[in-house]
């Protein structure tokens, strides 16, 4: 059996580690397996698979509990054998990813038709150009508080915009981004909702105390790609010389302790860290804004898992001010949970998830000089996963808005 496993593992390595041509992303017959991890050794093993294969971990190999892994057709027999061998229990969460995506696409189109195309309404998901056009419209509609600046260009040439909301009175700043991982659609939707609340007046008073900076969709090419080509794309869209695989994981690409753990040096991995820190132009654009603005608070929105995390991601050690970050996170989550009862877990990202170096939160807290840095994994816990239905955008955004507001109020006064 030991030998067989070695052969299986070698099989994975050969099939996926150094592909000669682009590994197919065909989702026909692909399944999402929900695996119950009860042993730390299994966790380590999955973290290894995540960095050495093209298996797509929809949730991180987290502390003991359940993880969701998307396994394409040709990898299924192998992975199921591995699970059997390791005596791991699992259930089939999605039986056919292709069919599932087709159903969801149909629902998405229906929601778009219902929402019409007059303006953003948060009962549909909007593409990159629509978000940019909306940002521009804010500068025109709220000229006394809103400023939109073109701060960079993505690899494929899309304009990256920074929105500043300010009355000119504030001392402190909060910088918020979303959409670093392309398929996590609820993140840009939630961040744009915050903006709407602030300009529409539900944040009255906040703008006197805090300047707000927003970049709702910081992986423009990847995000656009999820609308037109591949709903499950995660990384950037820059090619990798010498490899058939495209893209870098933008949240493994930041320079602080880059590639020190939980990241891959293989371009075909979903957690490929890139050839060097800040190889991705989109992350350089965000970095350069953070260096100029030096916001006291840095927030980056992802999905899914319902986690409110602070650094470090690269080590299980905690930052000096972790207690401050922890208690503010607890308060924000309490405000969030009060709205619809949605439960979040709070902790450092290496303790709530697995170690992952090269994240923007670690960089913001250290090099960027922010006092509070959070990565928030929004709804849900895998029931719908990345395909969070349109009717859950508003509930998700409005509860998160309460957490966001609490942080802004705190920063404004302390």
Supply the residues annotated as catalytic: 377
Here's the x/- map for Zn ion, 245-284, by CB under 5 A: it reads as ----------------------------------------
The SS3 call for residue 249 is coil
Does position 309 interact with ligand ARG (CB under 6 A)? The reply is: yes
**Minimum distance of ligand ARG from residue 170's CB (angstroms):** 27
Q: Which of residues 35-64 bind ligand ARG (CB under 6 A)?
A: 60
Q: How many residues does the chain have?
A: 414
The SS3 call for residue 235 is coil
Does position 62 interact with Zn ion (CB under 5 A)? The reply is: no
Tell me which of Zn ion, ligand ARG, none is bound by residue 353, counting a contact when its beta carbon lies within the kind-specific cut-off of 5 to 8 angstroms. Answer: ligand ARG
Quick check: 210 and 408 in contact, CB under 8 A? yes
Beta strands 372-378 and 297-303, pairing class = parallel
Question: Residue 90 or residue 386: which is nearer to Zn ion going by CB?
Answer: 386
Angle at 337 between CA 365 and CA 213, to 5 degrees: 40
Question: What letters, b where the CB count within 10 A reaches 16 and e where it falls short, cover 252-263?
Answer: bbbbbbbbebbb
Tell me which of Zn ion, ligand ARG, none is bound by residue 359, counting a contact when its beta carbon lies within the kind-specific cut-off of 5 to 8 angstroms. Answer: ligand ARG
Of 176, 248, 264, 349, the one binding ligand ARG by CB under 6 A? 349
Tell me which of Zn ion, ligand ARG, none is bound by residue 375, counting a contact when its beta carbon lies within the kind-specific cut-off of 5 to 8 angstroms. Answer: ligand ARG
Of 356, 364, 365, 373, the one binding ligand ARG by CB under 6 A? 356
| Dihedral angle sign, alpha carbons of residues 260, 266, 267, 269 | negative
Compute, in degrees rounded to 10, the torsion defined by CA atoms 117, 120, 124, 127.
80
Tokens 């000089």, residue located: 369
* Alpha-carbon span 401 to 197, nearest angstrom: 8
**Minimum distance of Zn ion from residue 302's CB (angstroms):** 3
Does position 379 interact with Zn ion (CB under 5 A)? The reply is: no
Residues that bind ligand ARG (CB under 6 A): 60, 251, 302, 309, 313, 349, 353, 356, 359, 361-362, 375
């Amino acid at each position: 059996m030991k030998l067989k496993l070695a052969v299986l593992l070698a099989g994975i390595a050969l099939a996926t580690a150094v592909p000669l041509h682009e590994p197919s992303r065909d989702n026909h017959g692909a399944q999402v397996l929900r695996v119950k991890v009860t042993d730390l050794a299994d966790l380590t093993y999955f973290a290894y698979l995540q960095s050495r294969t093209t298996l797509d971990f929809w949730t991180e190999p987290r502390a003991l509990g359940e993880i969701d892994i998307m396994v394409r057709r040709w990898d299924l027999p192998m992975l199921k054998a591995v699970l059997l061998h390791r005596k791991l229990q699992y259930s089939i969460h999605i039986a056919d990813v292709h069919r599932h995506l087709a159903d969801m696409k149909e629902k998405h189109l229906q929601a778009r038709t219902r929402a019409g195309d007059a303006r953003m309404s948060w009962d549909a998901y909007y593409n990159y150009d629509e978000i940019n056009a909306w940002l521009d419209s804010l500068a025109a509609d709220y000229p006394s508080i809103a400023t939109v600046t073109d701060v960079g260009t993505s690899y494929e040439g899309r304009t990256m915009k920074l929105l500043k909301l300010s009355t000119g009175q504030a001392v402190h700043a909060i910088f918020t981004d979303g959409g670093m991982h392309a398929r996590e659609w609820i993140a840009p939707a939630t961040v744009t909702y915050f903006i709407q609340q602030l300009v529409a007046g539900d944040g009255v008073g906040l703008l006197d105390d805090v300047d707000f900076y927003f970049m709702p969709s910081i992986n423009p090419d990847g995000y656009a790609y999820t609308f037109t080509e591949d709903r499950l794309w995660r990384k950037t869209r820059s090619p990798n010389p010498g490899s058939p695989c495209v893209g870098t994981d933008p949240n493994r690409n930041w320079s602080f302790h880059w590639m020190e753990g939980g990241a891959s040096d293989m371009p075909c991995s979903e957690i490929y860290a890139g050839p060097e820190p800040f190889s991705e132009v989109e992350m350089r654009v965000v970095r350069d804004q953070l260096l100029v603005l030096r916001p006291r608070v840095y927030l980056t929105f992802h999905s899914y898992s319902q986690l409110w995390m602070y650094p470090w991601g690269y080590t299980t050690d905690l930052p000096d001010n972790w207690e401050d970050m922890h208690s503010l996170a607890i308060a924000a989550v309490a405000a969030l949970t009060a709205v619809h009862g949605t439960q979040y877990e709070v902790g450092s990202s290496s303790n709530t998830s697995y170690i992952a170096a090269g994240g923007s939160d670690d960089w913001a807290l250290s090099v960027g000089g922010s006092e509070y840095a959070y990565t928030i994994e929004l709804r849900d816990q895998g029931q719908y996963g990345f395909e969070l239905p349109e009717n859950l955008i508003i509930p998700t955004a409005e509860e998160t808005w309460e957490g966001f507001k609490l942080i802004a109020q705190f920063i404004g006064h302390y």
